Structure 1
Amino acid sequence: MGYEADLKLFINGSWRTGEGRDSFAVVNPVTGSEIAELPLATEADLDEALETAKRTYPEWRATEVDKRSAILHKTAKLLKERADEIARTMTQEQGKPIAESKGEVFGAASLFDWYAEEIKRDYGRVLVRPPGQLSRVMHEPVGPVATFTPWNFPIYLLAKKVAAALAAGCSVISKPPEETPGNTLAIARALDDAGLPKGVFQLVHGVPDVVSRHLIGSKVIRKVSFTGSIPVGKHLMKLAADNVTKITLELGGHAPVLIFDDCDLQKTLDMVVPQKFRNAGQVCVSPTRFYVQEGIYDAFITGFTERTRKVKVGDGLLEDTRMGPLANTRRPEAVEALVNDARDKGAKVMTGGSRGDSGGFFFQPTLLADVPLEADIMNNEPFGPVAVSRSFKDMDEAIEQANRLPYGLAAFAFTENGRRANLLGDAIEAGMVGINTFAISIADAPFGGVKESGFGSEGGKEGLETYQVVKAIHQA
């Protein structure tokens, strides 16, 4: 079965096709060949989307919570019913194994379900005042929202923003990635079929810099949410400053993994290797910098190497594939440059280390050992299927290395010592810390970073609050 997604824009409640618009070539990363053309929004399209968001916001804001909730629940139901079709499209566009794609669709649905209920629990508060006086603290929607999301988890990251914003009562204009348009269109179709009023949610594609400048530069947009690279995030912050527009940024990381000699090593290896190569390492919280205590370092390297060599790489549509290609032609080149630099500076390539000979955008699952700190890959996120490792002596050294970089999105640690686990949770500078677990992206938990990894949270009640403003009403 070939690629079947019908690629369109969704503006003012209607589907827009080519109609003379410029287009973007969508490519299957397994073969590197074009599979579809995506229409790109014109300035007139963006102006219409902004006017529509402004017009529909008051009505949606005034819609009672139970009705909003029902529409979000129906959206989740439709996504789950259509999961097989959506997952197939995602794998053809992005490359990840079909099981990962289907899991991502269900994860997106869970966000709509969770925010459908969380909005019912969005309580304000009444302050203590003398008799005859009343002071209330209220949560109100911030206004029309613009969201920008990347290609690595295209439907999940879009859902994380859209579900919360719609629950809060905001109208939304979303610009998902051009590389993976078919599966993100599924959210627009599900919302439309679920009965969301026309124009409350709109989806546009286009040249990223053009779209971001146009939307963020408009006084209609009162909130921007972006997931992506640190340089682009800093650029969008500057654009948002002109109108003092509220902004949430979930930017890059370079997640450290601290592995102590009291851990269950075999169990730990069974967890960390599949997690490292999930989505070919194209995960903002992917475990990447492995710091292993001296006494178990050699055994860790041996076990990691053996498991990595067994990772089946291939077309994500095949059931036995455990890792697909990288998402676009830029990624293998970037990863290869980092690996070559590390090798030149003394790192040992234990397995992998090259693109392979299968064509497409593949890169072999790779483990580098004894990587010097001056290697670029120890300081810049590879965003690919490469694990880098070093040994450490004691906890102080491990924490120093974990906190060494200007990033702080996620960090992980493996230890059976309860007191050490508590101390690590306090000492590590990251927005999320997983101790003996990688389950840190959950609908009811906040997801976000510190330092140059951004600010603000998505997920949990914090994810709803980011699309709200607080108003205090005092009555005497």
Structure 2
Amino acid sequence: MRTLKPVPISIMASRLTNLISRPKSFVSARASSAPHLTRQMSTEAQSVASRLSSSGLLRSQGLIGGKWVDAYDKKTIKVYNPATGEVITDVPCMGGRETNDAISSAFDAFNPWSKLTATERSRFLRKWYDLLIAHKEELGQLITLEQGKPLKEALGEVSYGAGFIEFSAEEAKRVYGDIIPSTLADRRLFVLKQVGPALACGCTVVIKPSELTPLTALAAAELALQAGIPPGVVNVVMGNAPEIGDSLLASTQVRKITFTGSTAVGKKLMAGAAGTVKRVSLELGGNAPCIIFDDADLDVAVKGTLAAKFRNSGQTCVCANRVIVQEGIYEKFANAFSKAVENLLVGDGFTEGVIQGPLINEAAVQKVESFVEDAISKGAKVLLGGKRHGLGMTFYEPTVIGDVKRGMLLSREEVFGPVAPLLRFKTEEEAIHIANDTNAGLAAYIFTNNMQRSWRVAEALEYGLVGINEGIVSTEVAPFGGVKQSGLGREGSKYGMDEYLEMKYVCLGNMNSN
């Protein structure tokens, strides 16, 4: 026996919006109050923006109840291209009133949307997925324009994010309840699951993207409308993060929050959600270790570490934050890795061959600088880079720092930039201890040719994700999430479905009477 009765509203910064809003924010202030260096749009950027506008995907308003709207007080926020400092467009600076209207819209849309069968909702989501893939090039260009990452990487991000929509559309039809054998002859026991993964199982949503990178979220919402998803099912608000967050947390109509971002903001969400006992799913900060053992294949280790560390200029929560190298291979690895990093081409993400783009804003650069300065002052050595790039703006040189110790900021906290700190270790036990000596527990990486060791270390590491001889491990068909202060719950796979399910026990008695 099986019923679907979803929770009315889910507030999301989900895997779909992850592809569009890096870095993410929720109830936090903007990352920096430092002034942007601005100038007129370049010819190339104008061309991209013009094409996006013509396609209808360059949206600059919020979405409430199926209508594109400005902030009620007409206030706006500028969205910048971090590679050039150019203003792309202005978006509304929304607050509590707009958020409350978005919640009401989602609440009103809940009943008709949730009454559709899983198959009907699956068709809508499949259409949305098809549109996302059909507009992959435009979405990738929009990511590069507002976030700065190389276009090739941005295109991969679109496919990856869209894959979660496709997977949910398929998996939602395979969420079942159970019939439990009763200990008494006249009773039948059922376990009923309700509230499926957001839209797939009937929830309606309010999406709050980062103010720094809202445009791709808005484009994805436009494609949701084009896919026929009814008005009010998907809503998007952005602007005054504290006001928006307070409204979402205070509403009794909001029953679930899923968030990707910093651990500090995640803790605020947990505390705020307690007032109305909301369910929360959190993907928070990381401090990922990348352990290189003496017996590792050097080429595989260099390639894998490069991928784990420098994608998106080091600005992902699963980026390798500490490269922990066994002393017998340390010098060889440091030399080979530094040479590989030296070959990374830095520039505007639209330039052919570019591997690393800019950091998201000036505050991000200043954080990287402070971490590097701290390490140098405590005895670390710059093997490569270590300063702002000659391109200016928020570009930073791909950097390798040697002789890093555990007391340095580079080892203790997430740098969120293109800096690879190298730490030495002697024994397997020491490597495990160094790796686990953190409050974070999202991703970890191991490079070894010893199969027994790979299993021992993987089991000992206190992390939700472990890559063995591989630097790119994320996929929509596997559970994604951390332990300790890196979050709660999982995204992706059948286990990610459980984050949107409530279990209900039904006991049906007196079954033997006529």
TM-score interval, smaller chain:
over 0.9
Once the two structures are TM-superposed, the CA of residue 168 in structure 1 deviates from its matched residue by 2.2
1:139 is aligned, of 193, 207, 210, to 193
5+ long unaligned stretches in structure 2:
1-46, 510-514
My pick for the range that moved more, 12-21 or 175-184, is 12-21
| 1:403 counterpart = 2:456 | no
User: 1: CA distance between counterparts of 2:472 and 2:312?
Assistant: 15
Deviations along 1:233-264, one digit per CA (max 9) or x if unpaired, are: 11111100111111111110110011111111
* RMSD after superposition: 1.3
Q: Is 54-63 or 86-95 further displaced after alignment? A: 54-63
Kept in 1: contact 2:347–2:357 (CA 8 A): yes
Report deviation, 1:51: 1.2
Query: Does residue 424 of structure 2 align to residue 391 of structure 1?
Result: yes
Instruction: Give, as a single letter, the amino acid of the residue that structure 2 aligns with 1:109.
Output: A
Superposed, 1:41-440 pairs within 5 Å as 41-129=94-182, 130-141=184-195, 164-440=197-473
On the 8 A contact 2:59/2:219 being kept in 1, the answer is no
The amino acid across from 1:126 in the alignment is I
Cα contact 1:349–1:367 (8 A) shared by 2: yes
Q: Distance in 2 between matches of 1:472 and 1:440?
A: 37
* TM-score normalised by the chain length of structure 1: 0.93
Tell me how far apart the structure 1 counterparts of residues 185 and 326 of structure 2 sit (CA, whole Å).
63
Q: Which has the higher contact order (CA 8 A, sep 6+)?
A: 2
Q: Residue 90 of structure 1 contacts residue 183 of structure 1 at CA under 8 Å; is this kept in 2? A: yes
C-alpha distance in 2 between matches for 1:73 and 1:452: 34
Structure 1 unaligned segments of length 5 or more: list them: 143-163
Question: What CA distance in whole angstroms lies between the structure 1 residues aligned with 2:505 and 2:152?
Answer: 47
Q: Report if aligned partners of 1:29, 1:93 keep a CA contact under 8 Å in 2.
A: yes
Give % identity. 39
Q: TM-score, normalised by structure 2?
A: 0.87
How far apart, CA to CA, are the structure 2 residues paired with 1:42 and 1:226? 18
- Matching residue of 1:154: none
Residue equivalent to 1:153: none
Whether the aligned pair in 2 keeps the contact of 1:21 and 1:42 (CA below 8 Å) is no
- CA shift for structure 1 position 18: 5.5
Give the Å deviation of 1:438. 2.6
SS state of the match for residue 361, structure 1? coil
Q: 1:59 offset after TM fit, Å?
A: 1.9
- Letter in structure 1 aligned against 2:281: T
Separation (CA, whole Å) in 1 of partners of 2:377 and 2:439: 25
Deviation per CA, 1:187-242: give whole Å up to 9, x if none: 21121111112101111112111111111111110011111111111111110011
SS in structure 2 of the partner of residue 313 of structure 1? coil
1:446 alignment partner in structure 2: 479
Conserved 8 A contact 2:374-2:408:
yes
> What is the alpha-carbon distance in structure 1 between the residues aligned to residue 483 and residue 401 of structure 2?
27
Give the SS at the match of 1:452. Answer: helix
In the alignment, the residues of structure 1 paired with residue 315 and residue 188 of structure 2 have an alpha-carbon distance, to the nearest angstrom, of 52
- Conservation of the 8 A alpha-carbon contact between 2:257 and 2:280: yes
Aligned partners of 1:255 and 1:289 also within 8 Å? yes
Superposed CA deviations along residues 70-96 of structure 1, whole A, max 9, x for unmatched, are 111111100011111111111010000
Could you report, residue by residue, the CA deviation over 1:98-120 in whole angstroms, capped at 9, with x for unpaired residues?
A: 00111111112111111111011
Give the match's secondary structure for 1:442: coil
- Aligned equivalents of 1:221, 1:266: Cα separation in 2: 50
* Partner of residue 14, structure 2: none
Deviations 1:21-76 (A, max 9, x none): 21111111111232211112243221211111221112222210100111111111
Instruction: Tell me if structure 1 keeps the 8 A contact 2:71–2:98.
Output: no
Question: Partner amino acid for 2:190?
Answer: R
Residue aligning to 2:41:
none
Deviation string, structure 1 residues 327-354 (Cα, Å, up to 9, x no partner): 1121111101100110111001000100
The answer to whether the 8 A contact 1:168-1:464 is kept is no
Q: Which amino acid aligns with 1:321?
A: V
- Assess, with a 3 A threshold, how the Cα gap between structure 1 residues 18 and 237 changes in structure 2: closer, same or farther: closer
1:34 aligns with 87
- Cα distance, 1:131 vs structure 2: 4.2
Q: After alignment, is 256-265 or 45-54 more displaced? A: 45-54
Look up the match of 1:145. none
Aligned equivalent of 1:160: none
- Give the residue type in structure 2 aligned to 1:294: E
Aligned length: 455
CA–CA distance in 2 between the matches of 1:43 and 1:412? 42
In structure 2, what is the Cα distance between the partners aligned to 1:304 and 1:425? Answer: 23
Q: Distance in 2 between matches of 1:16 and 1:22?
A: 12
